[in-house]
Amino acid sequence: MREQDDIIFMKRCLELAAKAEGMTYPNPLAGSVIVHNGTIAGEGYHIKAGGPHAEVIAINSVGDKRNLRTSSIYVNLEPCSHFGKTPPCTDLIISSRIPRVVAGAIDTSDKVSGKGLASLRDAGCEVISGVLNEECRYLNRRFFTFHEKRRPYITLKWAQSSDGFLDIIRHEGYSVEPNWITGKPEKVLVHKWRAAEQAILIGAGTARSDNPRLNVREWSGNDPIRIILTGSGILPDKLALNDPPGNCIIFTHYPHKINYKSIDVVELNKEGTAAGQISEYLFKSGIQSLFIEGGLNLLEHFISTGFWDEARVFYGKIPFKDGIRAPEINGEIISQTGFSQSLLKVFVNN
């Protein structure tokens, strides 16, 4: 019975943690629940870096602090045991005399990596770990990928027609605008996705054909850092991404061709892959996630080099009969969602 209760309360931790998706970088998503006599006595979640951690908010929310001495505390990620912008959560748990700690995933970052649970055990706490481990790791997949693979978590996104095309053939004089395959709900969802990521990438072809802003207009949240990959350095004279607000980075082999104001330009080494160099640059910059909304060449480059973790593909219901073929993706389908104008499939790279 206790194991089932642990699962129920860990699910609540995950629900709480997910409320702050996209807001806590560079910190992970964390939710915490205090349970006394089988009932939730307090709960909370980490909102942003520099603010109180989930365990602190949950403990402070308990009305009668004496109940902490006979309670369990749940958290989807191992409590921290080091001083950062805030004191260690393990110290507060120990000083609050909470006897039982139930954790989801182990924090594999260098600063924690099991030290939090070890200090709790050393203080005499009963420690249970690994509850809903897979779900807990997936929620913080960006955080874990960054620390374990030393690169950002990379998500690909595209929409294709019912007969497998990304776009129609754009003839000379074609207006510069997106060719929509999906409907309004899907557009809102994509903006929600953008708000959850730290950076977003397109290729020069998409910049020339669609000239997108790549910001969050249909959702509440932070705009991601906007990135363009252009091997040739050839871009439109008027670039929407050059308009504030937000940061923008251009990766190119020919930086001398780029003369936009207030845009960082990074020169690519012709001997290395663009995907690898971009990933390395973003890792060194502390960027944990990259969302790619590019065209065929950009998508195929990241797919062929293996630099992708997740792909979100909308399959439209209208045929184009001709155009630019969509890339092929091999991965495990983890979810499917139907919309009035499309079917969304989410793949993970195993």
Main-chain phi, psi angles of 143, to 5 degrees = -60, -45
Nearest of 182, 166, 180, 209 to residue 322 by alpha carbon: 166
Q: 3-state secondary structure string, 217-260?
A: CCCCCCCCEEEEEECCCCCCCCCHHHCCCCCEEEEECCHHHCCC
The helix (H) or strand (E) run that includes residue 33 is: strand 31-36
Q: What does the block give as tokens for 187?
A: 């557009």
Rg of the Cα trace of the chain? 23
- What amino acid occupies position 240? A
Instruction: Give me the DSSP letters along 129-198.
Output: --TTHHHHHHHTHHHHHHHHHSS-EEEEEEEE-TTSEEE----TT--SS----S-HHHHHHHHHHHHH-S
How far apart, in whole angstroms, are the C-alpha atoms of residue 130 and residue 17?
17
Catalytic residue among 55, 78, 186, 293: 55
Main-chain phi, psi angles of 251, to 5 degrees = -100, 130
Would you call 334 helix, strand, or coil by DSSP?
A: strand
Distances (CA, A) of 232 to 172, 182, 255, 336: 20, 31, 9, 37
Place of tokens 């079917």: 343
3 is catalytic: no
Instruction: Give the angle 306-337-185 at the CA atoms, nearest 5°.
Output: 105
> Could you give the residue numbers annotated as active site?
55
